[in-house]
Structure 1
Amino acid sequence: MSAEIRIPSIVKIGGGSLAEVAGLLLRLQCRRPLIVTDPFLMSSGLPERLRTQIQDAGLSCEIFHQTQADPTTAIVEEGVRVFVGGGHDSLVSLGGGSPIDTAKAIGLMATNGGKVSDFKTPKTPYIACPIHLAIPTTAGTGSEVTRFTVITDVGTGEKMLVAGDVLLPTAAVVDYELTLTMPPRLTADTGIDSLTHAIEAYVSRKASPFTDALALAAMRTIWRELPISFLEPGNRTARAAMMLAATQAGIAFSNASVALVHGMSRPLGAHFHVPHGLSNAMLLPAVTAFSVEAAVGRYADCARTMGVISADATDEVAVHHLIRSLYQRNADLQVPSPRQFGIDKVQYFDLIPSMTAQAFASGSPQNNPRIPTAEDVEAIYRQAWQ
């Protein structure tokens, strides 16, 4: 079996690497980058410091800071107007998954035209996007190294997955020091998001030896270091390890694809504004319990690699401990169920058929080791409620 691997042409990793952004833009022959970030980071002063670094290198640079959690088609359209109207030739995304996904979509629409919905899966965009340098500030989404973006349609409420090689950032700067101020809730949610990326990449029907190695390395690190990052936010060793693992998991799932957890997570986030990492965490144990029978050996590998069971345990014992450990880790990290999150029960159950249809429309469930029916997905949503 052959596998085609796609990663950014340059990935800088390490503490303090943010200081190398301007030099990297010069290497990429950018002249007028647009920084894409969010209001929270803007209030911290970080985007302005980055703009000063870029301007001191002789480049013209502006900031678009209107991005929001669960980026929408309206925000993307506004970003395109700023990008085109300002004569920008490149993008620098700074933030979590939302600013990076927004920058990908801005680049896509600036060159391809039309609407974001024109390119939702299974359609694939093909016109190259502008140079994009991605700088994550959370250890979670892996979006800095993936060829995906997820944008919510303001008209339908659907979280649309767009996939294509043209969305892959040209370069990424992965500086763990940017995560030292992450609060515990965000640390937990993005950390489990990364764990989900690693597990789903490993059990995906599109997995390869290349992605397997990265996925296993990432899940080993995340399982060990996430509780430390959660309880000790200033622990630089744990933060550095989590940042590297998030990038490894991002490369793994970008090339092997995610599966049922992500397919079900997107509509849950779209309808009830649950942060993406948190909605993954709500679903991961139940989806794993549903899926194990079709890939017992693969899930057992995950359990042994994560250290939740001894290396000589049987596959059946290993997967039992894996499921139990995922539920326990959610409890340790104070992950709420949809009910505990405050979602209205009647609305949740009324929307289960619609969420199920949107999950299948994403294409991700088809990568799952056990391909579900609509009835299976509806049952998992009901189970996750508690």
Structure 2
Amino acid sequence: MKTNFDFLMPSVNFFGPGVIEKIGDRTKMLNITKPLIVTDTFLEGVPDGPVAQTLASLDQAGVQYSIFNGVEPNPKVRNIQAGKAQYLADGCDGLITVGGGSAHDCGKGIGILLTNGDDITKLAGIETLENALPPLLAVNTTAGTGSELTRHCVITNEETHLKFVVVSWRNIPLVSFNDPMLMLDVPAKLTAATGMDAFVQAIEPYVSTNRNAITDGQCLQAIKLIEESLREAVANGHNIEARTKMCEAEMLAGMAFNNADLGYVHAMAHQLGGQYDAPHGVCCALLLPIVEEFNIVACPDRFAELARAMGENTDALSTRDAAELAIKGMRQMAADVGIPTSIKAIGAKPADFEMMAENALKDGNAFSNPRKATKAEIVALFQKAYDAE
């Protein structure tokens, strides 16, 4: 555990029902006269949805804007290039992302291209950015990725089918908005996938080699909130209490992994998502119990604590037996919200495992995993996730 560390998050974070109304005034306070709204066609078309409410607040504040609706799931290099072109053509001077992780990552990518060069693929890695991004505000609509809070920008190179990450404090939005009322109509499958992403992002930092006392508390509280609310949010999307708890949980998990980093679950999930264009949260959920079972020997006491946070009864058990209950809890959560058991479900092919294992070990999330693996061991983990029943 680190005793000397920095702690990164947006300067201002608005949370709670109705906070979206504040975005117009906050945009003016940042002296942004014409932001580029970065979103997708679906959200743009929802009557009185997140985009409509964002625009209404901007209109009330007298702020002009341009709308870029070219965000795709697992945003591609072509998306951020198109966004940059529209930003320049329309004379924008700031960015507002409206959506889940894809919108936020796309907006960060646009900002990176605007100030740090035309080839974002050359900037993959940690703290590679020399220049600040344009002012960035993030309106979050899913309780999952935490990207509205973090320094991570995940983009897919459509030519190579590889996901890469640009990790920099310069990527952190200046202001985040988490309004659970914007999440009430998120479909059950998307709620499950994004919720499982938050679950993973609460677990990986807790066992990360870069963890600290602050992130530990955030992880444990996030896990408790997810245990209390994710199943309910999937079963009834209009359960406001469940939506609010999930919103709180994803913020805590986002802050935690923004500072303590992740591990092999995300490093490997990026390969699945890039290769098969599969939902990120589903990829993470499919890999979670497989990877963490591999990790137990590195820190069984941490996994025993995770089991207790998940509500498992560890009385009279050895540390190792208690740790195994954490894996049981991970599998149960995934099953309860409808996640499949095998990566076959997203089209994974064993012929790709060698290549994906090699790239996973180069991923920026791999270096903080508690147990170090060889390429052959990562291949074996992909195979185990493939063979899972």
TM-score by length of 2: 0.95
Residue 75 of structure 2: aligned partner: 71
Contact 1:51 1:62 in 2 (8 A): no
What does 1:121-132 correspond to in 2, within 5 Å?
Answer: 121-122=125-126, 124-132=128-136
Amino acid at match of 2:182: L
Report what 2:320 is aligned to: 316
Q: Secondary structure at the match of 1:161?
A: strand
Provide the secondary structure at the position in 2 that maps to 1:193: helix
2:271 pairs, out of 248, 264, 267, with 267
Matched residue of 2:63: which SS?
Answer: coil
Identify if the C-alpha distance between structure 1 residues 136 and 57 changes in structure 2 by more than 3 Å, giving closer, same or farther: same
Whole-angstrom distance in 2 between the partners of 1:165 and 1:122: 9
Matched residues in 1 for 2:159 and 2:315: separation?
50
How far 1:41 sits from its partner (Å)?
0.5
CA–CA distance in structure 2, aligned partners of residues 322 and 49 of structure 1? 40
Identify the residue that residue 156 of structure 1 maps to in structure 2.
160
Deviations 1:70-91 (A, max 9, x none): 1000110000011122111111
**Counterpart pick for 2:23 among 1, 21, 24:** 21
Which of the numbers 9, 14, 31 marks the counterpart of 1:7?
A: 9
1:363 matched to 2:369? The reply is no
**2: CA distance, partners of 1:269 / 1:309:** 35
What is the CA RMSD across the aligned residues, in angstroms? 1.4
Q: Is the 8 A contact 1:263 1:359 kept in 2?
A: yes
Give the C-alpha shift of residue 271 in structure 1.
1.1
Q: Between 156-165 and 304-313, report the one with greater CA deviation.
A: 304-313
3-state SS of the aligned residue for 2:218?
helix
Tell me the distance in 1 between the aligned counterparts of 2:151 and 2:364: 15
Q: CA deviation at 1:97?
A: 0.3
What SS is found at the alignment partner of 1:143? Answer: coil
- Tell me the distance in 2 between the aligned counterparts of 1:190 and 1:51: 25
How many Å apart are 1:226 and its aligned residue?
0.7
Residue 263 of structure 1 aligns with an amino acid whose one-letter code is: A
**1:220 corresponds to which letter in structure 2?**
K
The separation in 2 between residues aligned to 1:312 and 1:195, in whole angstroms, is: 27
C-alpha offsets along residues 210-265 of structure 1, whole Å, 9 cap, x if unaligned? 11111111111112211111112111101000001101100100111111100000
Deviates more, 1:45-54 or 1:101-110: 45-54
Distance in 1 (alpha carbons) for counterparts of 2:85 and 2:236: 42
Q: Distance in 2 between matches of 1:197 and 1:309?
A: 23
State how far apart, in whole Å, the 2-side matches of 1:49 and 1:249 are.
Answer: 26
Contact 2:16/2:178 (8 A) holds in 1 = yes
Residue 22 of structure 1 aligns to which amino acid in structure 2? G
Aligned partner (choices 50, 53, 59) of residue 55 of structure 1: 59
Q: What is aligned with 2:353?
A: 352
| Cα deviation code 1:85-129 (max 9, x no counterpart) | 211111110001000100011011101122111110146112000
* Aligned residues of 1:224 and 1:306 also touching (Cα < 8 A): no
Q: Please give the secondary structure, in 1, of the residue aligned with 2:133.
A: coil
Partner of 1:306: 310
Q: Deviations over 1:186-211 (max 9, x none)?
A: 11111110010011111110101111
For 1:34, the aligned partner's letter is L
Q: Quick one: distance in 2 between partners of 1:98 and 1:311?
A: 42
Cα distance between partner residues in 2 of 1:363 and 1:147: 12
Length, aligned pairs only: 383
Over 3 Å off, 4+ runs: 310-314, 337-340
Partner SS, residue 162 of structure 1: strand
One-letter amino acid matched to 1:352: F
Aligned sequence identity (%): 32
Corresponding position of 1:376: 377
- SS across alignment from 1:181: coil
Q: For 1:192, which of 189, 193, 196 is the aligned residue?
A: 196
Q: Aligned AA for 2:54?
A: L
For 1:166, what is the secondary structure of its paired residue?
Answer: helix
Quote the residue 1:30 is aligned against.
32
CA-CA distance at 1:314 after TM superposition: 3.3
Aligned to 1:293: 297
Aligned to 2:260: 256
Where do 5+ consecutive residues of structure 1 fail to align? none
CA distance in 2, matches of 1:184, 1:327: 18
| In 2, Cα distance between equivalents of 1:311 and 1:72 | 48
Partner secondary structure for residue 34 of structure 1? strand
Preserved CA contact (<8 Å) 2:303 2:324: no
Match of 2:140 among 125, 136, 141: 136
- Secondary structure at the aligned position of 1:189 is classed as helix
CA–CA distance in structure 2, aligned partners of residues 150 and 239 of structure 1: 25
CA distance in 2, matches of 1:308, 1:40: 40
In structure 2, runs of 5+ residues without a counterpart are none
> What is the rounded CA distance, in whole Å, between the counterparts of 1:187 and 1:298 in structure 2?
27
- 1:222-241, aligned counterparts within 5 Å? 222-241=226-245
SS of 2:350's partner is: helix
2:199 is the alignment partner of 1:180: no
Whether the 8 Å CA contact 1:94–1:134 is kept in 2: the answer is yes
